[in-house]
Structure 1
């Protein structure tokens, strides 16, 4: 490693900056604007130390008591573990999790192997051109699926979906779900459901970058949680405006947050511009009221 001028010693190991952990649940349907369901902030250090498994258990328990319809829980790779399957089964919830390639699964014919080893035996069942919204490119995707079980839960039938890039530009993606998959159509529907999970990542990005949740300037833990809850209400309000006032939003943006160019005038979810437009509108009316009162 080349040392830059002014730096005497490069880092010898991974740099770890302690901070808050953030677990969120958003409710949405394919092609719809999401809404905030639960937000939890917790820490793994000090007086208020918590465990990730306990946080997820309490969130699932609360969801199970409040939901009146069945939903599909879409989870990222961080939840690819046996306790996720255990608790989803305990609360009788359907789930879809991006699985890790080195975790053991049991195939009816091939036996117990790592996920990527099972995927090698699966033949492609369907192909399709899919738009990658994040990278703004079209990918040629191949799908393969099969029934598997987890070694710790031999009575729970699961389904493994292998998503391959035909050009080999990206490594295969593995999806494990409790939903029954009988055809390629079912597999594609599961894949689109996972792609829709990007709304949760956008929620983290907006909360940290736009609404300032990354650096709350409060000392006491309870005050921090209260501030974060207030900011979450603001975020859900912005989402509700986009969801319920679709015809009014372009007028608001054109008047109070005008931009030129397709990149700024035609976003899919213009939540950054909506917040700025509301801020500009309120500031204008407050300044006008102040001038009237002072005159």
Structure 2
């Protein structure tokens, strides 16, 4: 799709040409959604939406929030900030479209990704996780509900030499947040779905309802082509039963004290089942979180869940002294040590979604919007999600030359940690922002062509 924009030897091109070339890539990325949006709204609104994505990429960072007044000033100019703010507000408040259009765009991209990876006969991993958006200082916004504050939990950790902090959990106003990322065994992830829900008010829902809807949606779109990865928050008989009934392939990190059947009739805790079992093999494994090598062992044991009489496997990864083992419950058949290692390495890819939470909360300011209406707030968050999804596309191998040129020319760093970063998304956005500020590219001509053809 991007063949007409060469990514070879960018150092021979001027900065202005590169700025225009990367913006053309953004136009191609946004075109499928904006063509659909053009069927519901006036072209001026569509243009505002495209410009808003570019503004978020260029100006938003951890020091600036997703505030309409600031975004409006960047959309037009500081002298015409009220007009820019009104343009964004009219786009978000328009009743002629809703957030489902953006969700459909992400689902379509995810389905295309699954089909492309399966054609290469490779595994597709679907990484699930949940978080919250905390609005601690708000109370009147529509759809807010009590959420457990992860910031408070982090600050309450005991620090040596200081007084013991209070241990009771802190609840603040906010929104529940669930997301699914798709990725292969290697390479950057792709955003498949991002959704917010509340337990109060007009849009009240609950975790079980949202999660089951997503499970059914994934089964309908992808079938057994995706191997779903779940953290310990999903551990339990209810989730295992639902996955088995829908015939989903899954890897679920099991809690060591939760019970399973060993040999079909002995009910034991997971750690007791694995106790005394010798590891099948040892390997040196790279930990992407701590950037170091460590020696790990693996063993797999056939088990059953008390509430789901279906053959399962408990894969135990032992990362060595000082590191807690992983207990991974899966319905993937394990016959060799290579099968067991594939399960371990697949679960290790789950760290991708933890980085997504951190990036969206800190770099894009997802916790900052102050829109009163629930639907308008979700629209703005999903438009910001478009900007994040676009940055993920730049991590693809075919854009290596672009990344190296951007990081070297527009965000140079001398530190070893910055130079050796495998996915420098923070620096990449900073470099792209500086490039577009110094060389503002023309309005997306390619996007206009797409809209004219659709009309």
TM-superposition CA deviations, 1:204-225 (whole Å, max 9, x none): 1111111111222222111111
Secondary structure of the residue that 1:247 maps to in structure 2?
helix
Query: Does 1:98 find its partner at 2:98?
Result: no
Secondary structure of the residue that 1:20 maps to in structure 2?
strand
Distance in 2 (CA, whole Å) between partners of 1:56 and 1:108 is: 31
2:262 corresponds to: 107
Q: TM-score, normalised by structure 1?
A: 0.88
- Counterpart contact for 2:253–2:329, Cα < 8 Å: yes
State the Cα distance separating 1:110 from its structure 2 match. Answer: 6.7
State the Cα distance separating 1:136 from its structure 2 match. Answer: 1.9
Query: Does 1:232 find its partner at 2:385?
Result: yes
The alignment of Structure 1 onto Structure 2 pairs a total of residues equal to 278
- Counterpart contact for 1:122–1:146, Cα < 8 Å: no
1:160 corresponds to: 314
- Counterpart contact for 1:26–1:37, Cα < 8 Å: yes
Shift in alpha-carbon separation, 1:69–1:143, aligned structure 2, 3 A: closer
RMSD: 2.1
Which protein, 1 or 2, shows the higher relative CO under an 8 Å CA cutoff with sep ≥ 6? 2
TM-superposition CA deviations, 1:122-173 (whole Å, max 9, x none): 222111121212112222212111110100011x11100112233x202222
Distance in 2 (CA, whole Å) between partners of 1:72 and 1:91 is: 13
Shift in alpha-carbon separation, 1:97–1:283, aligned structure 2, 3 A: same
- Counterpart contact for 2:197–2:204, Cα < 8 Å: yes
TM-superposition CA deviations, 1:180-210 (whole Å, max 9, x none): 0011111111100000111111111111111
More deviation, 12-21/57-66:
12-21
- Counterpart contact for 1:122–1:145, Cα < 8 Å: no
Shift in alpha-carbon separation, 1:83–1:285, aligned structure 2, 3 A: same
- Counterpart contact for 2:241–2:307, Cα < 8 Å: no
2:328 to 172, 175, 179: 175
Structure 1 or 2: more helix by fraction: 2
State the Cα distance separating 1:68 from its structure 2 match. Answer: 6.2
- Counterpart contact for 1:256–1:281, Cα < 8 Å: yes
Distance in 2 (CA, whole Å) between partners of 1:70 and 1:286 is: 42
Query: Does 1:200 find its partner at 2:353?
Result: yes
2:407 corresponds to: 253
2:182 to 1, 13, 27: 27
Q: TM-score, normalised by structure 2?
A: 0.58
Structure 1 or 2: more strand by fraction: 1
Shift in alpha-carbon separation, 1:179–1:260, aligned structure 2, 3 A: same
List structure 1 runs of 4+ shifted beyond 3 angstroms: 286-289
State the Cα distance separating 1:92 from its structure 2 match. Answer: 1.3
Shift in alpha-carbon separation, 1:288–1:73, aligned structure 2, 3 A: closer
Distance in 2 (CA, whole Å) between partners of 1:186 and 1:288 is: 52
More deviation, 193-202/256-265:
256-265
1:17 to 144, 150, 172: 172
State the Cα distance separating 1:280 from its structure 2 match. Answer: 1.2
1:293 corresponds to: none
More deviation, 179-188/10-19:
10-19
State the Cα distance separating 1:91 from its structure 2 match. Answer: 2.0
State the Cα distance separating 1:259 from its structure 2 match. Answer: 1.7
Where structure 1 has 5 or more consecutive residues not aligned to the other structure, the ranges are: 1-9, 290-295
1:187 corresponds to: 340
Where structure 2 has 5 or more consecutive residues not aligned to the other structure, the ranges are: 1-164, 444-455
